[in-house]
Amino acid sequence: MRDGEAIGEGWHAELGDLHAERAALENCRSRGNDPAGATMYVTLEPCAHQGRQPPCVEAILGAGIARLVIGSDDPSEKAAGRGPGILRDGGIEVDFAVGEEASAARLLNQPFRKHARTGLPLVTLKLAMSLDGQTATAAGSSPWISSEQSRALVHRWRAESDAIAVGINTVLTDDPLLTARPDPSGAPCAPTESKRTIGSEVRQPVRVVFDRRARLPLDSRLLRTLDQSPVLVVVGPEADASALRKAGAEVLVADGIEAALADLGRRGITSLFLEGGKTLAVAFQTTGQLDEARTFVAPTLLGADWRAGPVAAGDPPPPAVAKASSAAGPPMAPPARATALCSEARTVGDDVLITARFKEW
């Protein structure tokens, strides 16, 4: 910025690409502007280490930036204030944003921040439910509960995520594709190597199936579309997953959800969009690994089944808990009640979308 005018802009489009600072400086010069003496605004503390990209502090010092305003700190061990220190030593005036702007910058970077602090991806649960609290439709009927507009939004969220996860029952019931198809015409998006949502190009998330017993059918649509994006199957230590490997799936052997998340984190997955079903959602909640929930409530009755909806004190556990407890894995404790730090509701098509954040990183 100079004299209240933006003379260059940039963002970090994808892992391995130019960091936002270098992209902004490049953009500034490509517009015929000289960044020397300007003020630079960044959402995240500039890095000072050599990673996939050279340190941003070198680019900022080299460009002669006079003042830097930072939206949020970088909680990674290798950052932790080093960048701002080096820039101050180099004569740059460095300020941190406060209040609403600082909070907005932190919220923008939640997947990065959780991954940096814990090594785990940020988990966002999406569920659609009927007015009578059901998340599954009758066998043989359309699997959709929410409106077309809601489903279009879900495709955008998929494209914004590093990975999408479902439980094996969802695959056995619905045989889903789980690709990001934000185009209303339903046209498939560009395959994995393309960039994150820019124009009509959509980066495809990794598709993850939680399948302790390696039951994913070899003729499932997931395995028939490996050219569109990888499929990663999370199996238990006892499972024989040789057929899945042979079919081209990546297999992650993990004893429980936390171990699986740690492995996904090591693979560079910073955001996991959890699409259900309810059994897996309950299992994630039980481990305390839900950071955000996005629930669509559709104005429809699917035929009240008290067991599928909220459970009153003294009721037997819902089938989701009972099923997960009796399945191959160890018995699960019922999930502890989680109350959102903040929530909001809005209408999407005919549905009400409730967004609730449980943790902030």
Ligand X SMILES: NC(=O)c1ccc[n+]([C@@H]2O[C@H](COP(=O)([O-])OP(=O)(O)OC[C@H]3O[C@@H](n4cnc5c(N)ncnc54)[C@H](OP(=O)(O)O)[C@@H]3O)[C@@H](O)[C@H]2O)c1
The catalytic residue positions are 21
Closest to ligand X by CB, 168 or 231: 168
Q: Work out how close the CB of 260 gets to ligand X at its nearest, in angstroms, rounded to a whole number.
A: 8
Tokens representing 358 are 């449980």
Q: Which is nearer to ligand X, 22 or 212 (CB)?
A: 212
| Shorter beta-carbon distance to ligand X: residue 109 or 271 | 271
Nearer to ligand X, 75 or 277 (CB): 277
Give 168-172's long-range contacts (Cβ < 8 A, gap of 24+). 168/209, 168/210, 168/211, 168/212, 168/213, 168/215, 168/216, 169/277, 169/279, 170/275, 170/276, 170/277, 170/280, 171/209, 171/211, 171/216, 171/217, 171/220, 171/222, 172/215, 172/217
- CA torsion angle for 89, 91, 92, 98 (degrees, to 10)? 60
User: Which pair of tokens denotes residue 335?
Assistant: 């999930």
List of residues contacting ligand X (CB under 6 A): 127-128, 135-136, 143, 145, 166-170, 173-174, 210-213, 215, 256-257, 275-280, 283, 320, 323-324, 327-329
Evaluated on CA atoms 125, 128, 131, 134, the torsion sign reads negative
Report the residue number, 15 or 328, with the smaller CB distance to ligand X. Answer: 328
d(CA 82, CA 57) in angstroms, rounded, equals 10
Start-to-end CA distance of the chain, whole Å, equals: 29
Nearer to ligand X, 79 or 178 (CB): 178
Give the orientation angle of helix 110-118 with respect to helix 99-108, to 10 degrees. Answer: 70
Q: From CA 205, how far away is CA 161, in angstroms rounded?
A: 6
Smallest CA-to-CA distance from 153 within 130, 134, 181 is with 181
Question: Which of 23/129 has CB closer to ligand X?
Answer: 129
Rounded least distance, CB 152 to ligand X, Å: 15
Does residue 214 contact residue 235 with C-beta atoms inside 8 Å? yes
Closest CA to 163 of 322, 60, 48, 275: 275
Q: Work out how close the CB of 234 gets to ligand X at its nearest, in angstroms, rounded to a whole number.
A: 7
Q: How many CB atoms lie within 10 A of CB 183?
A: 13
Check: CB of residue 108 under 8 Å from CB of residue 115: no
How far apart are CB 136 and ligand X at their closest, in Å? 3
Cα separation, 225 vs 221, in Å, equals 6
* Smallest gap from residue 256 Cβ to ligand X (A): 6
CB of 130 to ligand X, least distance (A): 9
SS3 of the chain: helix, strand, coil, percent, to 5 = 30, 20, 50
Cβ atoms of 190 and 201 closer than 8 Å: yes
Residue 126: CB minimum distance to ligand X, A: 6
